[in-house]
Amino acid sequence: MIRYDVIKRPLITEKSTIQKETANQVTFEVDRKSNRVEIKKAVEDIFKVKVAGVKTIQVMGKFKRRGRILGKRNDYKKAIVRLMPGERIEFFEGV
The structural domain count of the chain equals 1
E strand or H helix at 3: helix 3-6
Query: Between vectors from CA 68 to CA 63 and to CA 71, what angle results, nearest 5°?
Result: 25
- Residue-wise pLDDT for 28-81, tens only, equals 999 999 999 999 999 999 999 999 999 999 999 999 999 999 999 999 999 999
* CATH number for 81: 3.30.70.330
Question: For residue 49, what are the domain limits?
Answer: 3-85
| pTM of the complete model | 0.87
Regarding predicted confidence, which is higher, 9 or 1?
A: 9
